[in-house]
Structure 1
Amino acid sequence: MENRAEPSIDLDQVVARRVRELRAGRGLTLDQLSSLSGVSRAMISRIERAEVSATAVLLVKLAAALGVTFGTLFEAPEPSADPVRRAADTPIRVDPETGYSRRNVAPPNASGTDIVEVALPAGARVAYDNLVVIPVEQFVWVLEGLLTLSYEDLTTELGPGDCRVMRLDSPLVFENRSDRPARYAVVLVPHSAGQGSRR
């Protein structure tokens, strides 16, 4: 991602509010959300008070347990009706553990479809272990660099222009085995129960 001035938005505060609101909206206690997500009660409490910048792995587990996509945790609860999302107005979040950066791209009223721009540093590895299946298909489209995806028993090497589709239903590893950053787009599209499996 290119360098640009960052909007004055504290994403940890946004995440804290969204997790609290989504948990309350589903009538879940901290203990119940902990049991569903595999994230400790103490960590969820700290996230909800914005006392910690949670890793992507933890936030993906919480999002899945709450039945939403990862990007939803970075959005206001009432989406804007504006059909345009300006890059200059959208904050970039840097993962405290891996250094990978992400920003939401699709306008928040985009019919449930999320588009996220991600930059994965050279040598970085992010492993997701989704404990709760949500009805979403994920397209990973590499824009620059090289990306290795491990999903179920299949490892796929992707280069610029390559795209891989999969469900959010199994452990997934993103890895940059090269000596240069990889930049890619993740597109999350809701699917109906009647659609066939993508492997």
Structure 2
Amino acid sequence: MEQESADLDQLIRQRIRSLRLARGWTLDALATRCHISPSNLSRIETGRRRIALDQLVPIARALDTTIDALVESGDDQDVVIRPQPCNTPGYTTWLLSRERSLNGVSIAKMRITNEHPVGAAALPVHPGHEWFTVLSGTARLQLGERTIIINEGNAAEFSTMTPHAISAHDGPVEILTILDHNGERAHLRGGTSS
């Protein structure tokens, strides 16, 4: 436990120094912005002085970051995502981003085996934009009355105010998709296809 605390302490110090250097600031420049003496800031960065919470607040503010970002753990748990498959008839989805990550967008991998085009009257509509790229196979994108074939390696981006659906074309297709909040709610939580 003590070693973990020391490792996190060192990681915080590295983050402070790295953010300072990334901005091209000297110790004096950061010290002026956070109202800490340059010698105390130097001791904080080098580990010769304990980091106190009342020092982290102005340092984080001066570096235009948050205390959470400075003190988050450096272990693999906050990096590695182990997606679990979510199965619905004709679709398997793996959520590849954490909830509410990346400014409100979700990233998902989908394996689509459903090859039955949806009638234009049944195509869903919701506010927002969607993007996907085909990892393997061929996708059929229905946008209103249009049917667009998207081959492996190609991508599509479209307004979701247009009635739309994605299905497989000539065998299973795997896609990587980015959905905004409305798209996530409609397609991942609602259990329907794009």
- What's the TM-score, normalizing by structure 2? 0.46
Q: Would you tell me which structure has more helix in proportion to its own residues?
A: 2
Structure 1 length-normalised TM: 0.45
**More RCO (CA 8 Å, sep 6+):** 1
